[in-house]
Chain A
Amino acid sequence: MANLFPRWTNELPLKAVVCVAALGGIVSGLVAYTATPKYTRVGYMPEQPIPFDHSLHAQQLGMDCRYCHSFVEQSSHSNLPADQVCWNCHGPGKVKPDSPKLQALREAMDESSEDYTGRPVAWVQIHETPDYAYFNHSAHVNRGVSCVECHGQVNEMKVVYHAKPLSMSFCLDCHRNSEKVLRPLDQITNLDWKAEDVDKDAFYAYLADKTGKGVEDLKKADSHKTFDRLLIGGHLKEAWNVHPPQDCTACHR
């Protein structure tokens, strides 16, 4: 009987296995890279109706985040400012009232203008928590988690973009290791805060007050450790009794 298959087919199964394995690897790699929020969310920078420059307002002018996002400490939702908040400074006779960039604001607020529609400025939402995930801003900012941890260095952004993946693993990473992100409560909206800025004596006095331990004892226990973020965060976690929930129902209620 003649050979059914030519000689080169002898190596075919092996080659096929190698190819399938390689293909599988490539596909998994591509999916892992492109189909996760690290790729799909990060960098999202939509055009806004008004090119509001955070770096100008928050950095150069030194405005606090809470001037505009005023209820972030009280509410689960961090509100966008009402148009009146913008109008406070950019109203007639104030800062750059005629700037063409503020057209959408005048349409919303300036009743004397012929373009007046009364429709609020339609800001484009960038950071969006899915409906099935519960997130409370106040719970985080009142427990030493700064805006910067999830939103990035907004104070340096000319145009705001999605800086962090905000995937579930991103949330869980902090919920499992919250000492990495905790900072003193008065520094929440200071997006440039660094561990070196902390006044050691004041910090230990605060801890002593919170925990009831002696300042000297606390300092002695830390004498061989570097005074860095992790140390500060660890102390705050203990002092505030921070136990971020890790079960499903924490967020999926």
Chain B
Amino acid sequence: MSQTVTNAEHNVHPSDQEGIAREPLVLNNRSMSWITNRICGIVENRQPLIWWILFVPSVLLAGVLGFTLVYLVSTGVGIWGNNQPVAWGWAIVNFVFWIGIGHAGTLISAILFLTRQKWRTSVNRASEAMTLFAVVCAGIYPGFHVGRFWMVWFLAPVPNANAIWQNFKSPLLWDVFAVSTYFTVSVIFWYIGLIPDLATMRDRAVTKVRKFLYGLFALGWRGGNRQWRHYEMGYLLLAALSTPLVLSVHSVVSFDFATSIVPGWHTTIFPPYFVAGAVFGGFAMVLTLMLPVRKLYGLEDMITPKHIDNMAKIILLTGTIVGYAYIMELFISYYGANKFEKDAFHLRILSGHYTWAYFCMFFCNVISPQIFWFAKMRKNLWVVFIIANFVNAGMWFERFVIIPTSVSMDFLPGQWGFYSPSIVEKWMFLGTFGLFLSLFLLFLRFLPVIAISEVKGVLPESDPHHHDWEEIKARRNAAHRG
């Protein structure tokens, strides 16, 4: 024991040094049992009224989505506003919008895990869930955009009597693989992370059905030493596996545009710019969801101002990167001396049909997050919530600005046209929000919204040297007093 104390004394814990004390990740010295009770309580107790007030309209909206899809399949994509030359309308805009939102989850769970950002523990579960639901919403669009939904299996390389084979040179196909890989890995990662908490839920369950279901999905977790050792290694490996995916998916999505020759799309800056934008939009959506959730379920001690502050900083950073990309696009279109490119951006910002969208985008994505330079603003939850929603809207506008405006007026005047969405497209988009919210509310209802075991792991008393440091602190205090 004395040996340990000496070691610990050599490596003085940062929290002991005055001036740079770290903010604790769980406030008010909450105990382990308090954490378990609070998080499991959300699932075990009746849902607050507001849950129902949100859930019912969400499900109805999701039903509208189902209705519009049936209408779409039975009638054809002509009910959308797509036309020549704008074959990619809201469907692809919304696909990119949702898939972008689906980036924060894996970033938080994988990259922040590998870089040992302990604050991730309070928000990773919910943001991974959000990721999955966003990818579900995203996947609907390209699937139905093919027009004949029952032919969608042509996207998979299945040998068939038509000798139809995929064009592996097409980024659209890479997209199929990128997104489906991302979804699969995200599901596995999320599920693996859930296992210890599912076991907790099982052990606390009172009804037979709950015991059975949580027990089934807990896969016989007992929380033994050996299980934890394997589990943590497995989790680490999965984190390493999903880290490149965070970067690859949206890069590949950007290839859909960047590898074409359409002015406004054909840009090498697209992959990093899309990834930054996706992280930006993803964090905004995490904040949009988690700010009400933490208030509603009394999770303020676990999702602390520190967490919100960190996320606001990430939004500031990625928003600024995105702003750099916007400006660089404009600069290159001027400096690159390609007259089609120059024209495309001239139309985009000055004289086109959609300049208003460009300025909405620019304001929401670049200007509005700059307020987060001020610590006070990052602490004001209303400001954070409003800015996060500005970002949500801005990221949607970004995709709108990129996709229809570029193709609506490209090389030949004979190919120029105007696109506006039909009422069906608008309801479909609202419908995906309904689906997204329904899934998220069901997640709140049935699964622990915060990773219980992981939050316990970042409590001070979980540190193996916790008691040594306590001792050092006590001794130092005594010396000071003496």
Contacts and interface: CB of A to CB of B under 8 A. Distances in A.
Interface of A: 1, 4-5, 10, 13, 32, 36-38, 165, 167-169, 172-173
A168 B163 contact: yes
Contact of A37 (B159, B161, B220): B161
A1 B203 contact: yes
Contacts of A172: 163
8 contacts: A4-B202, A5-B220, A13-B219, A167-B162, A168-B162, A169-B162, A172-B163, A173-B163
Contact of A38 (B161, B212, B215, B216): B161
Given A4-B212, A4-B215, A5-B215, A168 B202 contact: no
Contacts of B4: none
A8 B433 CA distance: 43
Interface residues of B, number: 14
A4 B159 CA distance: 44
B203 A165 contact: no
A38 B161 CA distance: 8
Nearest to B216: A5
A32 B161 CA distance: 8
Contacts of B216: 5
Nearest to A37: B161
User: Secondary structure of the A side of the interface?
Assistant: helix
A41 to B, nearest CB: 10
User: Secondary structure of the B side of the interface?
Assistant: loop
Contact of B161 (A4, A13, A169): A169
Interface in B231-256: none
A134 to B, nearest CB: 15
Contacts of A167: 161-163
B220 A168 contact: no
A211 B445 CA distance: 79
B465 interface: no
A199 B211 CA distance: 84
Contacts of B219: 13
B203 A168 contact: no
Interface in B201-228: 202-203, 211-212, 215-216, 219-220
Given A1-B203, A168-B164, 9 more contacts: A4-B202, A4-B211, A4-B215, A36-B160, A36-B161, A37-B161, A168-B161, A168-B162, A169-B163
Contacts of B162: 167-169
Contact of A165 (B161, B202, B211, B220): B161
A1 to B, nearest CB: 7
B170 to A, nearest CB: 14
A168 B164 CA distance: 8
Max count, chain B CB within 10 A of own CB: residue among A4, A10, A168, A173: A4
Contacts of A38: 161
A64 to B, nearest CB: 33
Contacts of B202: 4
A13 B216 CA distance: 10
Contacts of B220: 5, 10
A11 to B, nearest CB: 12
